[in-house]
Amino acid sequence: MKKVRLEIVGLSYSQTQSGAYALVLGETTGSRRLPIIIGGFEAQAIAIELEKMSPSRPLTHDLFKTFSQTFDITVTEVLIYNLVEGIFYAKLLCNDGTKEVEIDARTSDAIAIAVRFKCPISTYEFILKSAGIVLDDEPLASAEETEQVAELSETPVTTSMDDYKGKSTEELKNLLQTALDEEQYELASKIRDELNQRKKS
């Protein structure tokens, strides 16, 4: 069966299911998109890794990666191999240097692991034909929307960017660490952006 390579092209709040998120995968050499509805925890896990944030304690997918690498196991590919009644099925292709093993996984978990191992994500042509859509003119989710997905805590973010501009770099670094410790990832991303902007100027 022909495989198609995919990449993450969008992550945003789901417009159809309350409390869920839409992960959009796109073929690397085409215009078809594969939208997958995932839960809040998995969306947070994917967004945190995409935004290169470091939570104060390892998330479940970080623990999986550390555990695997400790025993010289590498995830070489994530394959979305089936679609049944709207549910995607995925598996991890793992290798310990001597043999390759396939492990069944929820698609959202598999992709959260894929971004940590930086391994390819693939699916079969028949899945793209049945569930893929073509987004010619519709803009993909912006980086800001992806950052918003990372913030899933109950604490509302009320600090404006103007408040950061008056603070010293050292104060911002302390605020960044506090935000990460409290798992306020949207706030952390805004502080990080301000720090990055200062480095450029």
* 131-178 residue pLDDT tens: 888 765 444 444 454 545 544 433 333 345 556 777 888 888 888 777
Q: Residue 35 in contact with residue 23, Cβ under 8 Å? A: yes
**pLDDT above 90 covers what percent of the chain?**
44
Domains and CATH numbers, the chain: 3-150 (3.10.690.10), 161-200 (no CATH)
CA dihedral 7, 94, 68, 58 (to 10 degrees): 30
Of the two residues 52 and 112, the one the predictor is more confident about is 112
